[in-house]
Structure 1
Amino acid sequence: MPNRLVSDRILRVPPEVVNVAGTAAAIFAVVAAGAGIVSLLPDQASPWLVASAYGAPAGLAFLAYWWIAQKL
């Protein structure tokens, strides 16, 4: 019985809230991954290399967004 109550609460969450929470999580993941990649770069790294360190995870996040949007 308690499992049913939890699943009913999850189903009552508006899709807009789920979308905002997912977008916030994706932004956090992209920034964390980009910062991790930048921390591995040498000190004299090109600005383009730093930009690509954030762009690669952002591209993967967009790919995941696009794939989910195709399924809906």
Structure 2
Amino acid sequence: MISEPITVYISKGCPYCEKVIAHLEEHDATFQVKNVSEDDDAFKEWKSINPMGTPLTVKGDRQVLGFSAEKLDALI
């Protein structure tokens, strides 16, 4: 069974974004990072999800806004 990809939308200078990435790396999660501050396509994609901010971690139809180890663990 192939797992759905995890995407982390981040912005420049966001300490919680760094915490999300570190947490996912610690748990050997496979994910891609999209910087909405530096990538116009990533910004448009992020906006289409109707986010409230960054970091926004998405897997399928599930989302985690901000940093929550418990919620991220459930997503992995």
Question: TM-score, normalization: structure 2?
Answer: 0.26
More helix per residue: 1
Q: Which of the two has higher C-alpha Rg?
A: 1
